[in-house]
Amino acid sequence: MVKIILWLLAIWVALSLVGAVVEGLFWLAVIGGVLFLGTAAYGAIKSSGRKGINGPR
């Protein structure tokens, strides 16, 4: 699961960079940024929820 999230984050960063570099594709940078933040938040929520299930030992 972590590998998938890392791959998605890398793809969103690449889309954001392409959108920032190529004029007229600013919308691509915005979409890439929004998807990056959403994926990072999802990954953070999933990883914090996993710690609560096992509990401290």
23 by DSSP, 3-state: which?
coil
Token code pair at residue 26: 């600013």
- Could you read off the pLDDT of 5-29 as tens digits, one per residue? 889 889 988 988 888 888 778 888 8
Averaged pLDDT of the chain: 82
The pTM (predicted TM-score) of the whole model is 0.68
Tokens read off for 38: 């959403």
| Domain assignments of the chain as residue spans, ordered by start | 2-48
* pLDDT above 60: residue 41: yes
CA dihedral 37, 42, 45, 48 (to 10 degrees): -100
Q: Is the pLDDT of residue 51 over 80?
A: no
Element (H, E) at 37: helix 26-54
Amino acid identity, position 39: T
